[in-house]
């Protein structure tokens, strides 16, 4: 892969600290940090606050490393999409070689130090997550199959499992439920985005479902995956990870999410173009709150359980 066309040598680099920080995809990192934190705090194990801080820091660094390597590899198609053209590498502010070096260095740093700070199960999961996101998703699935988001969604679903493993040294049903929640949330979240950003994927030649199968098929898939997601989210309320507080939040959110998916499915392109994809954009915004609020409710349930245990000890 060559960066010559994207970062001509005759252009003087004008990178600032913010450009290097942007390589780490800070908005994506926010979700990684939060879900990992929930996994760590919800785990039935005591962990020293400083160790917990280090664990979340190294998980965040690993997530940022994945973002830098993704930007290095995807610089050619990022330059063709309006949504990503201003990223540091395609805009020429940071060279591809710099992004690669930073990504590799941070990957090694995060995995080794997470292992030293917590345990090697958590470190192994972090290493696999970086590999999965960069190699399996970015280098292979993204440009090869319309199921890129479905399979590749696993990369974003691992952080709560890593947080749980950092606290307990293992994997459990609860951490798998957190993984599944994020895994099933990813397709409707990104397909809603693709519905009103299809031209970007057309221009870049990325085989997103909207490009390969059209928007009507994408609308059906949004509804199907939302139904599956709602079933899992509600069922989680009846497991050891859930409880009445979580279930109350899940019922409200999933009714809203199902309503949005149903409305998307009923629309055609004329309706969508008439209101500038208002329903699709609203669903996408809701999807951002959906995951944060579900994980927030899981964290609240864990806090209630711990408070009950402490109260019973008096």
- Cα distances from 158 to residues 43, 106, 282, 310, in angstroms, run 15, 18, 27, 30
Contact partners, residue 76, CB within 8 Å, separation at least 6: 1, 5, 6, 90
b/e 209-218 (16+ beta carbons within 10 angstroms → b): bbbeeebeeb
* 203: confidence class by pLDDT, cuts 50, 70, 90: confident
pLDDT at 13: 52
Confidence of residue 5 (pLDDT cuts 50, 70, 90): very low
The pLDDT, as a whole number, for residue 305 is: 79
Tokens 């069922």 map to which residue? 235
pLDDT higher than 70, residue 27 = yes
Q: What is the DSSP string of 229-295?
A: HHHHHHHHTTSTT--HHHHHHHHHHHHHHHHHHHHHHH--HHHHHHTTSHHHHHHHHHHHHHHHHHH
Q: Measured between alpha carbons, how far apart are the two ends of the chain, in Å?
A: 63
Task: Classify burial at 152, counting beta carbons within 10 Å of its beta carbon; exposed 0-12, middle 13-18, buried 19 or more.
Answer: buried
Structure confidence at residue 309 (pLDDT): 52
**pLDDT above 80 for 134:** yes
Q: What number of H helices and E strands is found in the chain?
A: 16, 0
- Taking residues 201-210, what's their average pLDDT? 86
* pLDDT over threshold 70, residue 6: no
What is the per-residue pLDDT for 74?
94
Is the confidence at residue 224, as pLDDT, over 60?
yes
Query: In this model, does residue 81 exceed pLDDT 60?
Result: yes
pLDDT above 70: residue 54: yes
* Average pLDDT value for residue range 204-226: 93
In this prediction, residues 225-253 reach a mean pLDDT of 95
Q: Please say whether the beta carbons of 193 and 284 come within 8 A.
A: yes
User: Are residues 84 and 22 in contact, defined by beta-carbon separation less than 8 angstroms?
Assistant: no
Q: Encode pLDDT of 149-196 as tens digits.
A: 899 889 999 999 999 999 999 999 999 999 999 999 999 999 999 999
Please state the rounded mean pLDDT for residues 211-238: 95
Q: What pTM did the predictor assign?
A: 0.89
Average pLDDT over residues 104-121: 98
Residue range 18-45: average pLDDT? Answer: 92
- The predicted model gives 112-126 an average pLDDT of 98
Q: Which candidate, 16, 22, 119, places its Cα nearest to that of 71?
A: 22
Confidence band for 308, pLDDT divided at 50, 70 and 90? low
């Amino acid at each position: 892969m060559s960066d010559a066309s994207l970062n001509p040598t005759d252009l003087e680099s004008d990178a600032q600290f913010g450009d290097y920080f942007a390589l780490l995809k800070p908005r994506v990192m926010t979700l990684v940090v939060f879900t990992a934190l929930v996994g760590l705090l919800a785990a039935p194990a005591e962990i020293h606050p400083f160790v917990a801080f280090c664990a979340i820091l190294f998980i965040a660094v690993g997530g940022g490393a994945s973002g830098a390597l993704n930007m290095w590899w995807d610089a050619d198609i990022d330059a063709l999409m309006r949504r990503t053209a201003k990223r540091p590498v395609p805009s020429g502010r940071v060279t591809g070689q710099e992004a690669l070096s930073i990504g590799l260095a941070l990957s090694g740093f995060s995995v080794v130090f997470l292992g030293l700070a917590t345990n090697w199960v958590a470190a192994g999961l972090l290493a696999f997550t970086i590999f999965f996101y960069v190699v399996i998703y970015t280098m292979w699935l993204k440009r090869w199959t319309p199921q890129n988001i479905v399979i590749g969604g696993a990369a974003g679903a691992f952080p709560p499992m890593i947080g749980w493993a950092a606290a307990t040294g293992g994997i459990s049903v609860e951490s798998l439920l957190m993984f599944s929640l994020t895994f099933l949330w990813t397709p409707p979240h990104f397909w809603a985005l693709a519905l009103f950003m299809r031209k970007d994927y057309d221009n870049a030649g990325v085989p997103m479902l909207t490009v390969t199968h059209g928007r009507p098929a994408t609308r059906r898939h949004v509804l199907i995956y939302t139904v599956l997601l709602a079933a899992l989210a509600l069922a989680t309320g009846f497991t050891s990870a859930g409880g009445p507080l979580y279930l109350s939040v899940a019922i409200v959110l999933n009714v809203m999410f199902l309503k949005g998916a149903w409305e998307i499915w009923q629309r055609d392109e004329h309706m969508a173009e008439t209101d500038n994809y208002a329903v699709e954009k609203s669903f996408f915004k809701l999807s951002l709150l959906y995951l944060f609020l579900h994980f927030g409710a899981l964290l609240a349930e864990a806090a209630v359980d711990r408070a009950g245990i402490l109260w019973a000890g008096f």
